[in-house]
Amino acid sequence: MALKTETMILNMGPQHPSTHGVLRLELELEGELIKNVKPHIGYLHRCFEKHAEAMTYPQVIPYTDRMDYLASMYNNFGYVLAVEKLLGIQVPERVEYIRVIMGELQRIASHLVAIGTYGLDIGAFTPFLYCFRDREKILSLFEMTCGARLLYNYMWIGGLSHDIHPDFVRLTKEFIKSFRPTIDELNYLLSYNKIFIERTANIGVLPLDTAINYGVTGPVLRGSGLAFDLRKNEPYSIYDRFDFDIPVGKGLMGTVGDCWDRYYVRVQEMEQSLRIIEQAIDQIPEGDVQAAIPKRIKPPKGTVYFRVENPRGELGYFIISDGSPNPFRVKVRAPSFVNLEVLGELCKGHLVADVVAILGSIDIVLGEVDR
């Protein structure tokens, strides 16, 4: 007579210190091993796409800020490039350079949050504060330029809202100089620490074909070994003028595609972003940042889909315009929403304590998942 065993359902509720936002995970456990994970989302849904239908094109930009609130510059960037493609306008060189610099600074800031909170989930308290200390420097650069620290509304259709401050170039160069030693320090404190490696290597291995089948993008895909980055494969703006590498996961501490690889890809991407900023900051041409902003934005009828490389993956905007000042439909392909699906696949066969590690390595932001 066989024993009848039941699996236990455990609820990692919407309020939990380790799910990055309001995410409810329903874990189906057999003892300590996980059989299935079902994420329940929707707790942060704020009807972005419905709002966008009632606003004019420039008014949508503050709403795009608030989707992925840790990488607002890039949300603006994607939307603005999509509308400019629809309108068919060409922005001045100065605007392009400043947009790239702001985008890369935002990438560093977003990865700092990802790394810091990942350390916090694993149990190391200090790297979190070191990451935030450096992020403060980036945020004060942003505050000096456009006045806000988190939700910028900086990139406008056809240009920027403000020109950069006269001190910006000097302060950015100082930041670059002070940031490189911090990445080394972070590596010694967290990445190469034996306990951290024990907790993240060989956990949550994502094989490459599974990754492609699920449609994941960003550091999650690059951690599994594929060097696919929209900045190199489909260059937008002026990324094709800069020389930088795409870090991939090589399985240095375990198998290719485990949590450590995804985490280390983010650390290396910060280094590459520094390279891009260094090259761009010396080449900014003179010009007027508000020259190409049209007076009334009434795009012709048509549709456009434009995708950019968010710090979390491929962010896509699909805009349908019917000739009026309000867009007919704005649909956002959020990278965290697609990446979250792969959580169920990754957690099978691991222990409960690993769910936190795996979720942290996928790096989701609930604002983007729920929009």
**DSSP, res 329:** E
Which residue number, 58 or 247, has a Cβ lying nearer to another protein?
58
Least Å distance between CB 89 and another protein? Answer: 19
Q: Does 233 bind another protein (CB under 8 A)?
A: no
Q: Would you count residue 327 as binding another protein (CB under 8 A)? A: no
Considering only 33, 40, 178, 198, the residue that binds another protein (CB under 8 A) is 198
| Smallest gap from residue 205 Cβ to another protein (A) | 17
* Rounded CA separation 152/317 (Å): 19
* 147 makes contact with another protein (CB under 8 A): yes
Contact 78, 317 (CB under 8 A): yes
Contact, 137 vs 175, CB < 8 A?
A: yes
For another protein, the binding residues in 62-81 under the rule CB under 8 A are 62-63, 65
Question: How far is Cα 123 from Cα 225, in angstroms, rounded to an integer?
Answer: 27
Per-residue binder mask for another protein (CB under 8 A), 280-299, x = binder: --------------------
* Helical H segments across 147-258, by residue range: 168-186, 194-200, 208-214, 219-223, 230-233
Q: Report if residue 366 touches another protein, rule: CB under 8 A.
A: no
Whether 255 contacts 118, CB under 8 Å: no
Beta bridge partners of 320: 303, 329
**Strand partners for 353:** none
Verify binding: residue 108, another protein, rule CB under 8 A: no
Quick one: 60 or 108, whose CB is closer to another protein? 60
**The only residue of 33, 47, 129, 227 in contact with another protein, by rule CB under 8 A:** 129
DSSP codes joined into one string, 120-160: HHHT--HHHHHHHHHHHHHHHHHHHHHS-SS----EETTEE
CB 141 within 8 A of CB 172: yes
Task: Among 195, 227, 252, 291, indicate the residue that binds another protein (CB under 8 A).
Answer: 195
Residue 67 CB, shortest distance to another protein, in Å, is 14
Q: Which residues make up the interface to another protein (CB under 8 A)?
A: 10, 12, 17-18, 55, 58-63, 65, 119-126, 129-130, 133, 136, 140, 143-148, 151, 153, 161-162, 165, 185, 188-190, 192-196, 198-199, 351-356
